[in-house]
A and B are shown apart, each in its own frame.
Chain A
Amino acid sequence: MSDSATSSQGPDGSVSGAEITLTDVTKRYTRSGKPAVDGLTLNIPAGETVMFVGPSGCGKTTSLKMLNRLIEPTSGTITIDGEDIRSKDVDDLRRGIGYVIQGGSLFPHMSVADNIAVVPGLLKWKKQRIADRVDELLDLVGLEPDRYRDRYPRELSGGQQQRVGVARGLAADPPVLLMDEPFGAVDPITRQRLQDEMMSIQDELRKTIVCVTHDIDEALKLGDRILILQEGAQIAQYDTPDVILAQPAGEFVEDFVGSGSSLKLLTLTRVQELDLATQSTATIGESTKDVIERTRAAGDSSVIVLDQRRRPIEWLWLRELRSDTIPATEDPKLITIDRRATLNDALDSMLVSSHDGVIVTGRRDEYLGVTTFTTVTDHMRATEQAAAEQAAEA
């Protein structure tokens, strides 16, 4: 594999992103009118995910599009990795920045593989290297290369299209990824899954991600930092989610973040902070008799089936096991959440799960354990109690 591609797969903590700075950036669409973006100055540290949120018309999308020069600023300077973005040819610049927009915006006349291969193709990579990279990326976003490589966008679900969109954005391993309302066009459950996957991908890659959203919960969940913008891209607050929830800077932010901030804490606590319950598992091809014996001994009445790469594919009651060996049937409706999912997501998923818990997965969808309704409520009660004691002391 190429140097750049391998470096992106480095162990946790190795940052492959680049720093972005905006200095006094202004955009006026008409000479006399109000500027859409008025003197925005901002520093985005390398390897962090920064969410741009704000009401519609606040200039968040304009600000994003100025980063890859789809919109040229009227004045001000933008640098990526210390380099002024105007010093490069505009197409070269864009090939080095991933760009993902709502719905994935895949080219309908190109297969999944061709869509992902667009930027590597423009960069004149060798054929074999492109093919390897396509498979690697499909794997990364949780789509089996052999099954999805040659499909066309219209043969995919909305969530799958969005996954391919993300893969396409990451194709040439750019240090910076720009996302414009990436998960706006899918249903809530799919959106939550995509967000989880996004987080686990980011965990691995540590890119600099700039993501526009109008959904404050999404921002709180995904962002290392959140930029809350008012009209004219005036910064209302730029800080980490905890600080924004704990100390909102002024009425605007308070209103925007919304009430019920104790409920919002559900959005800040991750599933990995809970103790996961264990649940019997089985691997495809194992003898059913052994599995049933083992499961009964553990006191469970159901078993989670894992594939060879320890990804959960099905959650079966023991009475549903009829064949001699564990079958490789995949349950398309199986709901799993990433370990970095929020408690909010976990509760959502439990409501639609047919078991009394939900499966938690780690990197690349690997099985970690199960979290149940009682663990979540216990945790909430404990936090509330702690908060109340703290308040009493103060």
Chain B
Amino acid sequence: MWQFIRDRWQDIAYSSYQHVSLVVQSIILATIIAIAIAVLVTSYRRLEPIANAISAVGLTIPSFALLGLLLPLLGIGAAPSVVLVVFYATLPILRNAVVGLQGVDRDLIESARGMGMGPATTFFRVRLPLAWPVTLAGLRVSTQMSMGVAAIAAYALGPGLGPYIFTGLTQIGGANALNYTLVGTVGIIILALILDAILLLIGRLTTSRGIRV
């Protein structure tokens, strides 16, 4: 096992970097999309049940199947991988962002408007900061999930640690099969834990002391 890792150290490190990079970039994109949709949903009440339905149904679509459906449209490589991860990452963030934004006291929003904050200022200075802790909780769930989903991207020849897992599984019974699978799986778990710790830290830094629990 150690020999296996030592031999492929550079490749493992590079794949890990690629894996994290895929997830982080997708999460950033997903957060922006989710918050934008959440703003729409919270401004137009009628959209809310639709958004809830989509985020519930969305999570039940097998990621493997979705990737298969994306291949004819986007080909292989990074593009379908990013779309896949962003799709799944958006849903938990969206759900929490909607809950968070709805949880903001209406009096506070009226207060902000009454003092002469425009809609955009009210959003960035009052609504978003107050909805942030809840949104961030969704973001953490999303990140954990995306680390796993990103492994599937290997089927579209995407970047990351996924190929290690699949190589191992297809060679089952072979000399290095277990090593491949374990390095891929454990690698993803370790990376997920590190990423979660970083998010926790970001949460501490970006949440006002006045609303920290």
Contact = CB atoms under 8 A, between A and B. Distances in A.
Interface in A109-161: 109-111, 118-119, 122, 152-154
Contact of A91 (B117, B126, B208): B117
Interface residues of A, number: 26
Nearest to B208: A109
Contacts, number: 66
Nearest to B130: A109
B204 to A, nearest CB: 14
Interface stretch (B68-76, B107-115, B181-189): B107-115
Contacts of B210: 108-111, 152-154
Contacts of A111: 210
Contacts of A178: 114
A302 B47 CA distance: 68
Contacts of B114: 68, 70, 94, 99, 101, 178
A14 B210 CA distance: 39
**Chain B interface mostly:** helix
A95 B107 contact: no
Given A92-B116, A110-B208, A99 B130 contact: no
A168 to B, nearest CB: 8
B121 interface: yes
Contact of A107 (B110, B116, B121, B126): B126
Interface string B55-96: 000000000000000000000000000000000000000000
Contacts of A101: 107, 110-111, 114
A108 B213 CA distance: 12
B96 to A, nearest CB: 17
A99 B121 contact: no
B45 interface: no
A166 to B, nearest CB: 13
Interface in B116-138: 116-118, 121, 125-126, 129-130
Contacts of A107: 108, 111-112, 125-126, 130
Given A109-B129, A154-B210, A99 B111 contact: yes
Contact of B116 (A91, A153, A168): A91
Nearest to A92: B116
Contacts of A110: 208, 210
B113 A122 contact: no
Interface string B180-213: 0000000000000000000000000000111100
Contact of A94 (B115, B126, B129): B115
A105 interface: yes
A141 B118 CA distance: 28
Interface in A43-73: 68, 70
Interface in B129-181: 129-130
A246 to B, nearest CB: 36
Given A101-B110, A122-B121, A109 B211 contact: yes
A119 B108 CA distance: 15
B113 A70 contact: yes
A122 B115 contact: yes
B44 to A, nearest CB: 20
Contacts of B121: 122
A110 B121 CA distance: 15
B111 A105 contact: yes
B112 to A, nearest CB: 8
Nearest to A112: B210
Given A101-B110, A122-B121, A95 B129 contact: no
25 contacts: A70-B110, A70-B114, A91-B116, A91-B117, A94-B113, A94-B116, A95-B115, A95-B116, A99-B115, A103-B107, A105-B107, A105-B110, A105-B111, A107-B108, A108-B108, A109-B129, A109-B210, A118-B115, A122-B116, A122-B117, A152-B208, A152-B209, A154-B210, A168-B115, A178-B114
Given A95-B115, A110-B208, 18 more contacts: A70-B113, A91-B118, A92-B116, A94-B115, A96-B116, A99-B111, A101-B107, A107-B125, A107-B130, A108-B108, A109-B210, A110-B210, A111-B210, A119-B116, A122-B116, A152-B208, A153-B210, A168-B115
Interface of A: 68, 70, 91-96, 99, 101-103, 105, 107-111, 118-119, 122, 152-154, 168, 178
The 8 closest A-B pairs by CB, nearest first: A152-B210, A95-B116, A109-B208, A94-B116, A99-B114, A105-B111, A91-B116, A109-B129
